[in-house]
Amino acid sequence: MDGFESFFLEVAGGKIHCLRRPNPGKPVLLGFHGFADTCETFQFILEPLARRFELVFADFRGHGDSSRITEGYYSAATYFGDAIALCGQMKRPLTLMGHSMGAALGARLAGLYPEDFTHVILFGGFSGLGPAGEDLRRLRSWGDQLRKNRPEKIRVMKTMREAELILKSAHKKLPEDRISKMAKSLVRPVEGGFVWKIDSGVKSGGAPLPFNPQLSRELWSRVDCPVLFIYGEESHLLPGAGNQASLDEILSHFKNLERHGLPDCGHNPHHEKPDDVVRILDAFLKKHQAD
């Protein structure tokens, strides 16, 4: 991305790739992407952020250009540990921003170290408790895959256009120019074409061991700073009214939360409705004196 510099930080035996946009004298905004994404995920909403913050966006392990895990398994605990370590290497207090998995981890991190954050910005990140037996089913499925022990075949896409068409099938509402920019951030060149910037161990889903629900609620209740929650009303991961942990119940644990649901929008509001997101971000940051 224009104006950003690439660097790596050491965490627990691995290297985390980051992009930084320097802004001397300004506080840091640390951004965490979602599952199977990269640190360039926020590229369409930079305008209200770049003038207020020094931006640092990180690739989780197994994603983007960060280290792969060669012994052991990916899990929420791995990513959460990396998030804790990354935050500890930043100038604090700081603003935290996350999408989906990055939002879920960020919301809990802000409760674990509430003194470290001045603002928290979340795009989705709450899916609630699944139906009875769902966690068991996912754990058994993961275990069955381990027992098969079959190396995954890495798909090589011959052209960038092939990658764009795959993304288009998953993001039907996005215009071609955004699809093209996303594709460039999600693939890397290899002999014969391009491959996705994600480790096969991540693609298999990793160890499906969820956060303890009671602990999550305790962490959310400890977040002291203003929290902005933006979500697409058509997201397939949005907790429903029939869910054991509805969205209203989850959000009730935050002390100071501002909520914005975007109609005709799915799980990626920062991709699907960037103009609306920029407007909401700008108003939130003005309101809470981030200028």
Residue 199 lies in a domain: no
**Which residues, 6 or more positions from 100, have their beta carbon under 8 angstroms from its beta carbon?**
33, 34, 35, 37, 123, 124, 125, 237, 267
The model's pTM = 0.94
Residues in the chain, pLDDT under 50: none
Ramachandran assignment for 56, one of left (phi > 0), alpha (psi -120 to 50 degrees), beta (any other) = beta
Q: What gap in Å lies between CA 32 and CA 37, rounded to an integer?
A: 10
Q: What gap in Å lies between CA 239 and CA 128, rounded to an integer?
A: 5
Alpha helices in the chain (DSSP H): 47-50, 76-88, 101-112, 134-148, 160-170, 176-186, 200-203, 213-221, 247-251, 269-272, 274-287
Q: Are strands 227-232 and 117-123 parallel, antiparallel or unpaired?
A: parallel
Q: Are strands 187-190 and 257-262 parallel, antiparallel or unpaired?
A: unpaired
Token pair listed for 25: 């004298």
Q: How many separate domains does the chain show?
A: 1
Q: What gap in Å lies between CA 32 and CA 118, rounded to an integer?
A: 16
Residue 85 lies in a domain: yes
Phi then psi for 248, rounded to 5 degrees? -60, -45
Residue 254 lies in a domain: yes
pLDDT at residue number 135: 85
Bridge partners of 29, per DSSP, are 55, 95
Structural domain harbouring 107 = 5-130+207-287
Q: What gap in Å lies between CA 58 and CA 66, rounded to an integer?
A: 9
Residue 161 lies in a domain: no
Residue 194 lies in a domain: no
pLDDT at residue number 159: 96
Nearest to 104 by CA among 154, 188, 33: 33
pLDDT at residue number 119: 98
Residue 59 lies in a domain: yes
pLDDT at residue number 203: 75
pLDDT at residue number 142: 85
pLDDT at residue number 129: 72
- Side-chain half-sphere exposure of 80, counting CA atoms within 13 A: 16
Residue 55 lies in a domain: yes
CA angle 290, 91, 257 (to 5 degrees): 40
pLDDT at residue number 114: 98
CATH number at residue 123: 3.40.50.1820
**Helix (H) or strand (E) run with residue 54 in it:** strand 54-58
What percentage of the chain has pLDDT greater than the value 90?
76
Q: State how far the alpha carbon of 156 is from the alpha carbons of 153, 159, 189, 196, 273, in Å.
A: 9, 9, 9, 8, 31
Residue 148 lies in a domain: no
